[in-house]
Structure 1
Amino acid sequence: MNAVITSPWLAAIATLGIIAAYEGWLNIAQRLAPGRLARTAHASLREDWFAAISAQPGSEILAVQTLRNSLMSATMTASTAVLGLMGALSLTAPTLHATLGEAVTGTAAWPHVTPRLAMELVLLCLLFASLVASVMAVRYYNHAGFIGGMPVGAPQRQRWAAAGSAYVRKAGLLYSWGLRQLMLLVPVVAFVLHPLAGVVGALLVVAALLHFDRFSAGE
């Protein structure tokens, strides 16, 4: 009986543990060999792009168009995250209200948190984090667009060149984080459908991220 009761919690821990272990390994790998990871390599690519576009007179329109496309992509990610957050809140709110209500009214000493409710809260956190990252990416792309639209030879452009390079780097990283958090929703949603499906989903997502996070100039 105890094994049956605790198995959903074990599945939840395994689901989140697989993701956390991979993210921890990725952070270590990024410090040891940053050039072999797509996140770092693409961040350098965006900086090199801004430096090249800033050295070419007449490229202001191209710079603005490119940054506008990136801004729209980040906007779509933010819209997806906020729609998902609203939908998840509408589904989770009744259960969360009932659970917290038991503790507030004194009918239960502690809120009765089930594995499903815990994973639903993780779902909300991931959606909120994706929304924040995507909105901040929009912000930085917007600022970089103003800088990229300045005439290349203008002294104001030279004064803001370092900030523009930093903004496109930050915007790209935030955009990638927003997308990543949406991908991490897969095992969480799978767990809500069935606890063991969450473990399988975590393994599949890690396998996909392992491919996407690797960078090779020859591929």
Structure 2
Amino acid sequence: MTNMTAWLAALATVAILVSYEIALAFGHRQRPKRLARTAHAALREEWFDAVSAQKGSEILAVQTLRNSLMSATMTASTAALALMGSATLAAPSLHSAFGDAHGLPTFTVRLALEFVLMSLLFASLLSSVMAVRYYNHAGFISAMPVDSDARNRWSDAGKTYVRRAGILYSWGLRHLVLVAPVLASILHPAAGPVAALGVVAVLISFDRFGSTDEPTRVVGGPAIP
């Protein structure tokens, strides 16, 4: 595979992923109830309102948030380890490209993809760490006694925190998924676009929520629009 073909394949891989994310961002603005991220964000807000209205639910709320916090912590740890490993593997390429002080740096396709890979892992790490932060704050608020003055003052903040934490956690997981086609492109540039299309096809099914014609029903529960 020639250098130009490799660059085109790598650019196609990134373009497919970026195009889908842009289309999804517009979808969240136009049809928020039909997409999982915004629908689940509303779910977490309603959950916080429900536990805030029920006395004696403080322990249950703290345990639920603790489980979510641990999940975000595991994602952050995974991203951190993967980032350190990818930086170690990219060190020879970086040394080869920038090690010669008397010549111009050689920016190869592999080096560009390694930068993309490390950027995705860093974004996953940052999103997961921020999710841990918001889950931690929400845990303190949910531990306050229901109907107490402090709980009432911080109720709006708690609802905002659980919404932000969930969205950041989903971003952390999503960036880890997007690593797959970039890795495939590093192994062989031609495999990148194919892997990107496969990942997008999987994400489309995950990002959908409900149906366009009828509500999604939960057994034993009310209809979810």
Q: TM-score, normalised on structure 2? A: 0.92
Residue among 178, 190, 194 paired with 1:184: 178
Residue among 91, 94, 113 paired with 2:92: 94
Residue among 103, 107, 110 paired with 1:107: 103
Supply the distance in 2 between the matched residues of 1:31 and 1:166 (Cα, whole angstroms).
Answer: 18
In structure 2, the residue matched to 1:116 is: 110
Equivalent positions of 1:9-158 (< 5 A) are 9-102=7-100, 105-108=101-104, 111-158=105-152
Supply the distance in 2 between the matched residues of 1:167 and 1:97 (Cα, whole angstroms).
Answer: 43
Stretches of structure 2 lacking an aligned partner (at least 5 in a row): 218-225
Supply the distance in 2 between the matched residues of 1:164 and 1:96 (Cα, whole angstroms).
Answer: 44
Supply the distance in 2 between the matched residues of 1:66 and 1:8 (Cα, whole angstroms).
Answer: 47
Supply the distance in 1 between the matched residues of 2:22 and 2:132 (Cα, whole angstroms).
Answer: 27
Say which structure is richer in helix.
Answer: 1
CA drift at 1:25: 0.8
One-letter amino acid of the counterpart of residue 66, structure 1? T
Supply the distance in 1 between the matched residues of 2:9 and 2:21 (Cα, whole angstroms).
Answer: 19
Which of structure 1's runs of 4+ aligned residues deviate more than 4 A? none
In structure 1, the residue matched to 2:157 is: 163
Q: What secondary structure, in the 3-state scheme, does the structure 1 residue paired with 2:91 have? A: helix
The farther-off stretch of 112-121 and 92-101 is: 92-101
Stretches of structure 1 lacking an aligned partner (at least 5 in a row): none
In structure 1, the residue matched to 2:188 is: 194
1:119-160 Cα deviation digits (max 9, x unpaired): 010000000000000000000000000000000021000000
CA RMSD of aligned residues (A): 1.1
CA drift at 1:4: 2.3
Q: TM-score, normalised on structure 1? A: 0.95
Q: What secondary structure, in the 3-state scheme, does the structure 2 residue paired with 1:195 have? A: coil
Supply the distance in 2 between the matched residues of 1:205 and 1:162 (Cα, whole angstroms).
Answer: 37
Supply the distance in 1 between the matched residues of 2:62 and 2:26 (Cα, whole angstroms).
Answer: 35
